[in-house]
Amino acid sequence: MDAQAAFDSHVRSKLESSFGKAVAMLILATASNSSGATTMGLERDGYMKLCEAIARDQRVVDMWGASGAADTLSQWKTLGS
């Protein structure tokens, strides 16, 4: 699966199901700003940076736990490679 498809179908949807659309968009904006990766036209490197930034976000860690965030990050990385 290419990086953009993985992001759209897995990353964004998991965030929206966990946090709702509004908070998911805030998390994505924060991750995009901190990683320097945009959410549109993603290539593999940008996808990986964005996923890592999402998994480090305190709201994500608080909701999923540290191990849950790490497990999800591992799954996302596999999808985007």
Q: How do the pLDDT tens digits run along the chain, 81 residues long? A: 788 999 999 999 999 999 999 999 999 999 999 999 888 888 899 999 999 999 999 999 999 999 999 999 999 999 877
What pTM, to 2 d.p., does this model score?
A: 0.91
Instruction: Give 27-80 as a DSSP string.
Output: HHHHHHHHHT--SSS--HHHHHHHHHHHHH-HHHHHHHHHHHHHHHHHHHHHHT
Tokens 């700003």, residue located: 33
Segment holding 4, helix H or strand E: helix 3-6
